[in-house]
Every structure is written in C-alpha cells, then in structure tokens.
Chains A and B, each alone.
Chain A
Amino acid sequence: DSGVTQTPKHLITATGQRVTLRCSPRSGDLSVYWYQQSLDQGLQFLIQYYNGEERAKGNILERFSAQQFPDLHSELNLSSLELGDSALYFCASSSPGEKLFFGSGTQLSVL
C-alpha cells in the first residue's frame, strides 16, 4: 500500500460528459502529480501541484483541469470527454527530493 488513495477505481461514461477523479496523497506529502497511461502513449505526466499551487504542467489538454485543496487532496476534472480519453489515470505524491508514490489508478472508459 503506497498510502496514496484514488477514487473511483473504475469509471464508465459517455462522450461529451464530464468526470472528476479524486486523489488523497500520502500523509505529509505536499506535492501531487497526475499521470495518464494510455495504450499507445505509455505513462504521461499531466500536471503537478505543490501545497495548493500549480507547479508544473505537462501534456494536459485544455479540456482537463486540476486543483489541490487546503487539505491537500486533489481532483482532476475531465470535460467534453472523447473516446481517446479512455485511459488509466494515476495520482502520485511525494515530499521534496523524494521519489513518487503512486496510487492504484482510476480506469476511465469513455463509450
């Protein structure tokens, strides 16, 4: 158990819809990261938050947004969903200079 909790584990939705993925980091970790794993792209960095502020951005689509709340949990919002957004979405957390600990992921299926 990495200590990083992601909900829900599975999500099935339709094209055009909006979903929210939730992540609770390990106790004490201020940084939260979101990664997307699709079949053809591998694990891709989306975005990082540190103590409530956006710290780094990767290949995140404009239809996607994230935030980190005062209690340090984070949410990844995906809107106007397309078939190609079907993927495994991982959240990870870390302390400064430390390695990342990953959650078990949310499997998103867009039908």
Chain B
Amino acid sequence: DQQVKQNSPSLSVQEGRISILNCDYTNSMFDYFLWYKKYPAEGPTFLISISSIKDKNEDGRFTVFLNKSAKHLSLHIVPSQPGDSAVYFCAASYDVGAGGTSYGKLTFGQGTILTVHP
C-alpha cells in the first residue's frame, strides 16, 4: 500500500526555468510533509517542510504547496540550477504521540529524478 506517491519517476528542466515536483498521499492522518534531496552516494538531506495547518511554505528558491482536500503537495524550484539535479523524495508523517512530537517515522515516496540542463 503506497501511502505516498510520486508519479513522475523523472523530470527534465532547462536552467533558469521552474521545476515542479508533485506528490500525492492517501493517509488522512499525515499532518507534516517534507521534501528531501539525495545526491548519489549520499544520504537524503532535508530541503523544506510544511505543516498541515499551512498551505504554503517558502525558503529561497524552494516553495512547497499543500492542498489538503486533494491530498497533494508540490515542490517548486525557481529558478532551477544545474546543481539542483538530484533525486527528490516527498515524505509524510504524523505525531505518533508517546509523550511528545515524533515526526521521525517518515513514509517516503518513490522519488523523482530531476535533471536541470545548462
């Protein structure tokens, strides 16, 4: 049961243009969403996150949009740069309780390979 889905295995974009990566989820309990970036031979690195109480979060060139009714989130990168070429993972979580916020049990999508051409 794939609770978090990234339906596009790959995306190719020209440098300077916008990259839009999409993610859909099915579990209504998810209330915290993250994007991670992964380069070859490295572990995933955190990029940006959004809580379910918001519908947009921005950090420099990266903006994440959340549409709760559609159970959909997207990551916009503007402008795209060749160094952004990597695998992007969408992840979701919810507070598992146990005496405090615990967002470490992440459910990841399959990832989207972004290639930004110079």
Q: Are B49 and A99 in contact (CB under 8 A)?
A: yes
Q: Which of B63-71, B72-80, B101-109 contacts A (4 or more CB under 8 A)?
A: B101-109
Quote the shortest CB–CB distance from B22 to chain A (angstroms): 16
A48 within 8 Å of B (CB atoms):
yes
A2 to B96, CA, bound (A): 25
* A45 touching B45 in the complex, CB below 8 Å, given contacts A96-B100, A99-B34: no
A48 to B6, CA, bound (A): 25
A83 within 8 Å of B (CB atoms):
no
Chain A residue with Cβ nearest B107: A45
Q: Are B111 and A102 in contact (CB under 8 A)?
A: no
Please count how many residues in chain A sit with their CB below 8 Å of the partner chain's CB atoms.
Answer: 25
Q: Are B100 and A100 in contact (CB under 8 A)?
A: no
B98 within 8 Å of A (CB atoms):
yes
Chain A residue with Cβ nearest B42: A104
Quote the shortest CB–CB distance from B76 to chain A (angstroms): 20
Q: Which residues of A contact B (CB under 8 A)?
A: 2, 4, 31, 33, 35, 42-45, 48, 55-56, 58, 90, 92, 94, 96-97, 99-105
A-B pairs with lowest CB-CB distance, top 9? A102-B43, A43-B108, A97-B101, A42-B110, A99-B46, A104-B43, A102-B44, A56-B105, A33-B104
